[in-house]
Amino acid sequence: MAMTVNVRAALAYVARGEAPLGIVYATDAKIEPGVKVIGVFPDNSHDPIIYPMAATVNAKPETIQYLAFLRSAAAKPIFEGYGFSVLAKPTS
């Protein structure tokens, strides 16, 4: 067993053949051509993996525009193309 500092390091070990198996996020495995998904954990075996987003009170003005884009209909197929599910209905 090789403990790594993060999921991407585990993914790299498997992709380079330095580890026979690894546990990584499906979205990471999807973008790495050097690995093959051989199994997945059932949805009910863990809490949902959610990436919340928000701007801080000191955020630059362009941050608000970027967050608006991430909530847009144009961003939805990009997220889905990388294996993410969009939980919120797009705002535009």
DSSP string covering 12-64: HHHHTTSSS-----HHHHHT-TT--------GGGS----------TT--HHHH
**Whole-number pLDDT of residue 92:** 67
Number of domains in the chain: 2
* pTM of this structure: 0.74
Domain shared by 92 and 54, yes or no:
yes
Torsion 81-84-85-91 (CA) sign: negative
Q: Does residue 16 fall inside a structural domain?
A: yes
Which residue range forms the structural domain that includes residue 11?
7-44
**Whole-number pLDDT of residue 70:** 92
Q: What digits encode the pLDDT tens for the residues 4-60?
A: 999 999 999 999 999 999 999 999 999 999 999 999 999 899 998 898 889 999 999
Whether residue 83 contacts residue 26, with contact meaning beta carbons closer than 8 Å, is answered with yes
State how far the Cα of 84 lies from the Cα of 59, in Å rounded to an integer: 25
